[in-house]
Structure 1
Amino acid sequence: MTLPPTPCLVLDRDALDRNIARMAAFAKVRGLRLRPHAKTHKSRAIAARQAKAGAVGICCATLWEAEQLAGAAPSILLTSPVAGAASAARIAALLRRQVALSVVVDHPAFLAALDGQLPADAPLGIVIDIDPGMGRSGVAAPQDAVALARAVSARPDLRYDGIQFYCGSEQHIPTLAARKDAIAARNLRLAETIAALAAAGLPPPVVTGGGTGTHGIDADAGLLTELQPGSYIFMDQDYGACELGGAGPFETALQVHATVVSANHAGWVTIDAGIKALATDSGQPLVTSGISAGSAYRFTGDEFGRLDLPADAPQPMVGSRIVLTASHCDPTVNLHDIYHLTGAALTEASWPIDARGHGDRVSPG
């Protein structure tokens, strides 16, 4: 294998496939629909592999992701609320492409934006987004969910598909017991909302949510009917520090390769992977191989990172290749264009990261 230029993403396709299979088997045994979140990988090739393994579809965080990944899996759920006539027009364009699409809504204003936009023969699936207490998005109270569900059900161009309940801040609580307690407290609101909808004659057809950190807890709680894990396919340092349970442990399939470009000081060297190659929101990446064990990374600029060596460790040569595990895989992926593949019996050297960025450079539809 010819090594790609650094900094770059290197994906172990075999480990990826084992992670995909492990989660798919877990969901099947537990009687849950699996809809993995494509915000992690942004890749048509990976979405297709997840669908082949049994996923009912994928989640997308943005309309741009949905536009780029349409057709790679049987259906798409847009998990972040959008607003305005321009977004409504892009959604309508996806429906005209015969994309099986559902979107989350947490305010009647977006229902109004859809007026006159949608094709008559392709109702848009609507999932009511429930705020689990994060204060980020979602309806604030069960009665608001009922009101929105009634408004959706009254329209022939819309289809009431259920509710979404995603506890993002709980996903990375390190210990399984503490995470379970936190989700149990959040689930009081979910159970109350499900009961209110049922009492109104609007029981949710699907209750979707969860993530890599809570998929096992969510399965045991018995309230969700569909799981949305994303990072399990790659794993990163943040999730690697968590006691996952459920279908875990998962393998680290994705790594960032870098090169030593300067070695002029005793005790540390500089590599060519800085904040343009590695996300910074979850701390420092983990130094995996290519240098003495115990070496520690720190960000030193757009293009550079510093590796501090343990006492008396040998100085690596300029040109040495270093392997890192990202602290947060999702935004790290968004900094790159290509997955460089390793594994047995490869027929492709790389996969494009089809949906990276935000899509402001193209016209909708």
Structure 2
Amino acid sequence: MNATSENERFLGQQGGRRSLNTPALVIDRKALGRNIDRMAEFAARHAIGLRPHAKTHKSFEIASLQVAAGAKGVCCAKLGEAEALVSAGPIPSILITSPIVSDAAITRLAKLASETSELMLVVDHPDNAKKLAAVFDEDDPLHVLIDIDPGIHRTGVASPEAALALAEEISRHASLRFRGLQFYCGLHQHIQSYEERRTAIIERTDYLRGIVTLLSDAGMSPEIISGGGTGTHEIDAELGLFNELQVGSYVFMDNEYGECELFAEAENFETALLVDTRIISCNTPGMATVDAGFKALSTDGGTPIVMDGVPEETRYIFMGDEHGALINADHEFDHGATVSVQVPHCDPTVNLHDAYHVVEDDTLVDIWPVTARGRSR
């Protein structure tokens, strides 16, 4: 019996959360619902499409909640994520946001396209377009978006001229259909100051606007302009170029986004994702050891923030693969106590766990699988 199945016996028990086998990935169900509804209302109010990024949660259940609230579909970073979600149930529209290049992966892509109502893919190189065109059929073409490099040089065409040349290459193939552009300014999402982030995004949006004009003047006006993110969504809507928002982390929030001014005036989204961990040793005064370390929490966003179970001024530090330490010289720790921490970076933390433990207050109300855990190919 694994820890997830063993935790099923606590379903519906008032206070059952405190009995969970730890470390446990926990969702505050009410906060999650409020975050989903808030973003859906924002998108509807600004008449902009919502395509949340499933790389954040890797969950069919959460994707379904987002679609039910008004999202037109989801993004997936990798083909494997999309395959896992489609296997779990219907998703109306999926955009894969990374290029798919290998022969084996393109074969899988073709199979997935036959199983979905709408599947789209980004491309950023003419050779990739040619390979894709050779596999798909003009009677059922693959819908593609051109990925535009926002300046981080990870993926995407590197100039307006390259975008036009790629659009022209796509148009030569009846088995491909050009749908639009993707533009994701990943490095800009975590600029802490709202005004500094807004200034940076205005400059990048002007760059993208020039590409849209160039393509439109050539008779290839993009139908879809997809991008943005949790950190810039309010600014993106204000600037009026995107017609799809690829927001992701808003559903959960984490340390990185918690440090940002996401709105010009409103409060940030709520923390809905936590890891519950347990004090397993407290023999040193002012210190306790918990059972969540590198294997339970991502490390790329700093250290976890203590949210509940001990005084808020208590610090967490990593103590290795399996353990962390709680430091508070003025607190006497309780052996066996449960402590909840906010995760440094939600996406990679989720990928470390098999399941979400969905709670309302201290009652475990459901357990959801992390549907696409480990699907990095």
TM-score of the superposed pair, with normalisation by structure 1: 0.94
Find the aligned partners of 1:257 and 1:307 in 2 and give their Cα distance.
13
Query: In the alignment, which of 5, 16, 32 is matched to residue 48 of structure 2?
Result: 32
Say yes or no: does 1:337 pair with 2:359.
no
Say yes or no: does 1:327 pair with 2:347.
no
Find the aligned partners of 2:350 and 2:278 in 1 and give their Cα distance.
18
**Aligned position for 2:64:** 48
Letter in 2 for 1:129: D
- After superposition, residues 270-289 of structure 1 pair within 5 angstroms as 270-289=289-308
**Aligned position for 1:69:** 85
**Aligned position for 2:100:** 82
Deviation of the 1:149 alpha carbon: 1.1
Q: Secondary structure at the match of 2:283?
A: strand
- Superposed CA RMSD: 1.6
Say yes or no: does 1:220 pair with 2:220.
no
Find the aligned partners of 1:186 and 1:119 in 2 and give their Cα distance.
36
Query: In the alignment, which of 310, 317, 329 is matched to residue 298 of structure 1?
Result: 317
1:261 touches 1:318 (CA, 8 Å); kept in 2? Answer: yes
Deviation string 1:162-218 (CA, Å, 9 cap, x unpaired) is: 000100001011111010011112123211111111111111101100000000010
Deviation of the 1:99 alpha carbon: 4.1
1:95 touches 1:119 (CA, 8 Å); kept in 2? Answer: no
**Aligned position for 1:192:** 210
Find the aligned partners of 1:7 and 1:38 in 2 and give their Cα distance.
23
Letter in 1 for 2:373: R
2:359 touches 2:365 (CA, 8 Å); kept in 1? Answer: no
Deviation string 1:322-350 (CA, Å, 9 cap, x unpaired) is: 00000111110010010111128x99521
Deviation of the 1:73 alpha carbon: 2.3
Letter in 1 for 2:208: L
Deviation of the 1:98 alpha carbon: 3.4
Find the aligned partners of 2:62 and 2:206 in 1 and give their Cα distance.
35
Say yes or no: does 1:307 pair with 2:326.
yes
Q: Secondary structure at the match of 2:170?
A: helix
Deviation of the 1:72 alpha carbon: 3.8
**Aligned position for 2:220:** 202
Structure 2 gaps of 5+ residues are 1-12
Q: Secondary structure at the match of 1:182?
A: helix
2:287 touches 2:333 (CA, 8 Å); kept in 1? Answer: no
Find the aligned partners of 2:299 and 2:150 in 1 and give their Cα distance.
26
- After superposition, residues 33-182 of structure 1 pair within 5 angstroms as 33-70=49-86, 71-182=89-200
Find the aligned partners of 1:248 and 1:120 in 2 and give their Cα distance.
49
**Aligned position for 1:245:** 263
Letter in 2 for 1:189: Y
Find the aligned partners of 1:348 and 1:306 in 2 and give their Cα distance.
29
1:208 touches 1:227 (CA, 8 Å); kept in 2? Answer: yes
Deviation of the 1:353 alpha carbon: 0.4
Find the aligned partners of 2:229 and 2:192 in 1 and give their Cα distance.
14
Letter in 1 for 2:78: T
| Total equivalences in the alignment | 357
Say yes or no: does 1:354 pair with 2:371.
yes
2:92 touches 2:116 (CA, 8 Å); kept in 1? Answer: no
Higher helix share: 2
Query: In the alignment, which of 248, 259, 263 is matched to residue 278 of structure 2?
Result: 259
Find the aligned partners of 2:241 and 2:212 in 1 and give their Cα distance.
9
Deviation string 1:283-326 (CA, Å, 9 cap, x unpaired) is: 101011111220111111000001111x322x212211000000
2:191 touches 2:260 (CA, 8 Å); kept in 1? Answer: yes
2:291 touches 2:323 (CA, 8 Å); kept in 1? Answer: yes
Q: Which runs of 4+ in 1 moved over 3 A?
A: none
Q: Secondary structure at the match of 1:11?
A: strand
TM-score of the superposed pair, with normalisation by structure 2: 0.91
Structure 1 gaps of 5+ residues are 361-365
What percentage of aligned pairs have identical amino acids?
A: 49
